[in-house]
Structure 1
Amino acid sequence: MPDLLDWRRELHPDRVAVEVHGVATLTFAEWSAGAEQVAAALHRRGLRPGDRVGLVFGARDWTRFAVAYCGVLRAGAVAVPLSERLAAGQLQHALTHCAAGAVLHGDDTEPPAAPTGTPVWPVADLIAEPTTGPELPPVRPDDLAQILYTSGTTGQPKGVGASHANLTAGAPNHPRRLALGHSERFLHAYAIGTNAGQTMLFNALTAKAAALTLPRFTPVRFARLVEAPGTGTLFVVPSVAIELLDSGALRGRDLSGVQLIGSTAAALPPAVAARLAETFPAATIVNYYTSTEAAPAQTTMIYDPARRDAVGRPVGGQLMVGDADGNPLPAGATGDVWLRSPHPRAYYRDEAANRATFRDGWVRMGDVGRIDADGYLYLTDRHQDVIKSGAFKISTLEIEAVLHEHPLVAEVAVVGVPHPVLGSVVAAAVVPRPEAAPEELSLSTLRGFLAGRLADYQLPARVLLLEQLPRNEGGKVLKRQLVGRFDN
């Protein structure tokens, strides 16, 4: 990774690489110089190659985070990106689990409470120190570079380790091969500490376009930057896309400059993809399917009305649907989804989880799906989200996709709730659009809308109207938190 930064500094020293709108900009020359200062300061303070360094930063501190991240890697240490919005217990778990040797934080971030004896330093102090000192040891491709903690939607977050070789797989090696060449800037609102956020950092290193983000997301602020000259690419999660579309913030704006919209972190409902395509007629809508464990392997799907439910074909790795033992299944058969990337990742200090998830470079994604004869992947559901009701196994994704077609449904999450006879029944948590009256989204009206579109056993037995769905930092719905709400 340090080599990539050196390469961009030589190519484009004065070009802006990262911008937090209205707060700060960072050129490649500034990025490289700051990283060298951080690396030298860490070495003087006793950090050594392989030591883990927690990085606790918020959205206003993206430029400082970029410097700190590359400085840690230049020192041969391991970066552990963490959001400032984590609860104290979550932060303590991550820093204790990885045995962090130090914690760095940004200018606008309160000093985090680290485990006893772990030093906490503002990155600004390290940047201000001189770079003089002993020569830093070389960084090797197989060295551990970062640990990202998973979202914890299915249990305690796990640390996923990635080597320098994994992070730089597919990186350009020629100026003409820089990504996003159609844009001057790519706009995103991803959180630091997520896999999507790390992808944006990597894009800042390898794309022709500069990374642009906001100190705080609101639909209106984001929409203003969408319309700004030079914004040719948007990266969103489905919940942000829905909020933008439903807020009215895009209405009346010139959106013709946007040529690419990428969605990741969760499945993009087909109805939402169709609305994006209608709202941004000049843009290509792309859905990316991957995970923190599988990156950079992924599938990509350009929105195609003829394949509304597909999540694409593999890019940057291999795709397989297999049986319970990991043996490949033929086209059309339903089974476990696996992705394989060069230089695979692994859970840090968790051999039991590694045995369950990783096998010969393949990663079990935790999803059930099938691959058609043309190589397109279709997801059935998350393993733990499949509803077993009587003799039926019910896909929550299928029901959610149809509910998203309802004109008064803004967001929806489907879960299984306990039933004394059937085991579980379908329950839908619905966020109405502002113009919706409660009676228009009652259980009977929603069942009437779904009748004829879904089988009778797929129809919700319970409906709950909410102002918002519980989500983690990466935008994924926390379905486990929803199940108990149907008891109230």
Structure 2
Amino acid sequence: MSTIARPARAPAVPATLPELLAHRALTEPDRVALVAGDEQITFGAWQARAVAVAAGLRGLGLAAGDRVALHYGAAGWNDYAVAFAGVLRAGLVAVPVSDRLAPAEVRHVLTHSGATVVLGRSGLDGVRCMTLADLSGGTLPEPPGPRDLAQILYTSGTTGVPKGVGATHANLAHGCTLDPRRRPLAHSGHFLHAFPVGSNAGQTMLVNALNARAAALTAGTFTPGRFAKLIARHAVGTVFLVPAMAIELLHAGVHTTHDLSGVRLIGSTAAALPPAVAAQLAAAYPAATIVNYYTSTEAAPAQTAMVFDPERPAALGRPTVAADLMIAGPDRQPLPAGEVGDVWLRSPTAARSYYRDGDASAEVFHGRWVRMGDVGRLDADGYLYLVDRDSDVVKSGAHKVSTLQVEHALHEHPLVREAAAFGVPHPVLGAAVAAAVVTDGPLTAPQLRTFLLERLAGHELPGRLLFLDRLPRNDNGKILKRELRQLLDDDRATP
């Protein structure tokens, strides 16, 4: 008896995040979606509040495509999530702004984006500032379409003025599902993070809250002790960190003083996790899978992911589709495995772009391909290895020195907790390598250089060493190397 083959049913996917929230509110209204402090929000409540915000915003006279800034801090994560969902449902464009930004940075974001309304904090000149309680009335408009602009997210600005990265609804909703059997983080009751509002990592956590089976738990301001208490209290199964947080957790030894045995996944993002730190995490949390994620504000949702592998400790993994990762020369043509060039990722959906900056967009975005600003190589199996940030490579005489390689070597010293390498001007070589370190005990420059002799070539050895109590970082946990260069004139710099 013959059978008739039936075509495979396409997976149920949402076109926009408002569609996803509405679906979860309909099918799981009482399921907890967000937890911040003592407040928790179910999907039903999230949807009801977001719809009220959307109607209230349109009641102010705002039209589709108008920009609304969301100025919130760690204590307001739940209100921020409601505001974000409401702005998108109203067909407006969300502009997340962290309350950790300096006033001048906030003014730049508001001016550049053209936002005329700010939800959250008040006291900003030239714009209308409101709380969610101030919104009332209005008519709910038609839902936005997948091609409409949904968000403008400003880069962290470690090397210059932050740029606004625009993303469509299709870009934000890519990878989400309406099928409960396909929900990620199914092994967890809660996933925990401490990422700030206005960061790409924070936005990823917000999408996770909409899409994952686990509820989102926000730690607010990060401290190792508070983070560990939340893990133990809520039996957290998934933890998301940046490398700086991972280093602090290890240094504090919270895995020896709290019951963290329920952790099954530790995800690191925002910067490459040093191999030595990844190995320490694996030892401290033997039941957990350690995953390093590589993406950027510009490239998301494109990314690579790598489960820590002692055989490939420095690898950053592969994308879901191998052809979506490329190492290219200046002509944007692919280079063979082993050769060093620019790292490119291809977005699986509508690519992002720089808002109101066509020249900058032309340098970074080509179709769905995004130049990451990193230099790297692929091995024979297609795994990505970073050499350095393009702007951080030190051109010293006839050599090009990878600051990442120098940092990896520094992290191998048992007394080095944190490390950063960077280039400084040199009268003969053009540039030379310097490094800043935070140590857990007495360590001299000669002792550290002796340790490095077996790990680095002569031209890679730091000519000057800076011993600090902490490394300067931005809100996303990225080291501000420009500030380290300024500190070299301080007497803490050891020649």
Q: TM range, normalised to the smaller chain?
A: over 0.9
Is 1:324 matched with 2:340? no
Match of 2:57 among 19, 42, 59: 42
Displacement, 1:135?
4.0
CA distance in 1, matches of 2:433, 2:489: 14
The residue number in structure 1 matching 2:293 is 288
Q: 1:393-412 residue pairs with structure 2 within 5 A?
A: 393-412=400-419
Q: 1:434-473 residue pairs with structure 2 within 5 A?
A: 436-437=441-442, 440=443, 442-473=444-475
CA distance in 2, matches of 1:355, 1:204: 33
AA aligned opposite 1:260: L
The residue number in structure 2 matching 1:7 is 23
CA distance in 1, matches of 2:72, 2:234: 29
| 8 Å contact kept, 1:300–1:311 | yes
> Sequence identity of aligned pairs in percent?
58
Displacement, 1:170?
1.1
Match of 1:206 among 188, 191, 211: 211
Displacement, 1:232?
0.3
| 8 Å contact kept, 1:54–1:103 | yes
Cα deviation per residue 1:400-428 (whole Å; 9 max; x = unaligned)?
01111111111111011111111111111
Displacement, 1:230?
3.0
| 8 Å contact kept, 2:410–2:452 | yes
The residue number in structure 1 matching 2:118 is 103
| 8 Å contact kept, 1:204–1:210 | yes
Displacement, 1:124?
2.7
Q: Does the residue aligned with 2:77 lie in a helix, a strand or coil?
A: helix
Cα deviation per residue 1:305-335 (whole Å; 9 max; x = unaligned)?
0001101101378111101121111111110
Match of 1:76 among 85, 88, 91: 91
The residue number in structure 1 matching 2:134 is 125
Q: Which moved more, 1:276-285 or 1:240-249?
A: 240-249
Q: Does the residue aligned with 2:319 lie in a helix, a strand or coil?
A: strand
Match of 1:360 among 352, 364, 367: 367
Structure 2 unaligned blocks of 5 or more: 1-16, 491-495
| 8 Å contact kept, 1:443–1:461 | no
Cα deviation per residue 1:45-91 (whole Å; 9 max; x = unaligned)?
11111000000000111110000000000100000001011100000
| 8 Å contact kept, 2:51–2:140 | no
Q: 1:38-437 residue pairs with structure 2 within 5 A?
A: 38-105=53-120, 110-114=121-125, 116=126, 118-126=127-135, 129-130=136-137, 133-315=138-320, 318-341=324-347, 342-433=349-440, 436-437=441-442
Structure 1 unaligned blocks of 5 or more: none
Specify whether residues 112 and 284 from structure 1 end up closer, same or farther in structure 2 by C-alpha distance, changes over 3 A only.
farther
| 8 Å contact kept, 2:58–2:140 | no
Displacement, 1:486?
0.9
Q: Which moved more, 1:467-476 or 1:222-231?
A: 222-231
Displacement, 1:228?
2.8
| 8 Å contact kept, 1:56–1:112 | no
CA distance in 2, matches of 1:346, 1:315: 22
The residue number in structure 2 matching 1:32 is 47
Match of 2:33 among 14, 17, 25: 17
Q: 1:472-487 residue pairs with structure 2 within 5 A?
A: 472-487=474-489
AA aligned opposite 2:381: D
CA distance in 2, matches of 1:30, 1:138: 19
Displacement, 1:254?
2.3
CA distance in 2, matches of 1:216, 1:154: 24
AA aligned opposite 2:329: D
AA aligned opposite 1:459: L
| 8 Å contact kept, 2:228–2:260 | no
Q: Does the residue aligned with 1:305 lie in a helix, a strand or coil?
A: coil
CA distance in 1, matches of 2:328, 2:132: 46
CA distance in 1, matches of 2:168, 2:196: 21
Runs of 4+ residues deviating >3 angstroms:
none
CA distance in 1, matches of 2:182, 2:414: 42
CA distance in 1, matches of 2:69, 2:112: 11
Displacement, 1:112?
4.4
Cα deviation per residue 1:80-124 (whole Å; 9 max; x = unaligned)?
00101110000000000010021100xxxx41414x2x2111123
AA aligned opposite 1:181: A
Displacement, 1:164?
0.4
| 8 Å contact kept, 1:443–1:460 | no
| 8 Å contact kept, 2:255–2:285 | no
Q: Which moved more, 1:219-228 or 1:373-382?
A: 219-228
Specify whether residues 112 and 413 from structure 1 end up closer, same or farther in structure 2 by C-alpha distance, changes over 3 A only.
farther
AA aligned opposite 1:327: Q
Displacement, 1:20?
0.8
CA distance in 1, matches of 2:132, 2:282: 42
CA distance in 1, matches of 2:393, 2:168: 34
Across the two proteins, how many residue pairs are aligned to each other? 472
The residue number in structure 1 matching 2:13 is none
CA distance in 1, matches of 2:52, 2:367: 39
| 8 Å contact kept, 1:297–1:315 | no
Specify whether residues 183 and 162 from structure 1 end up closer, same or farther in structure 2 by C-alpha distance, changes over 3 A only.
same
The residue number in structure 1 matching 2:10 is none
CA distance in 1, matches of 2:458, 2:221: 43
CA distance in 1, matches of 2:18, 2:367: 28
Q: Does the residue aligned with 1:293 lie in a helix, a strand or coil?
A: coil
Displacement, 1:452?
1.1
| 8 Å contact kept, 1:16–1:27 | yes
Compute the RMSD of aligned alpha carbons: 1.2
Displacement, 1:138?
2.7
TM-score, scaled to structure 2: 0.94
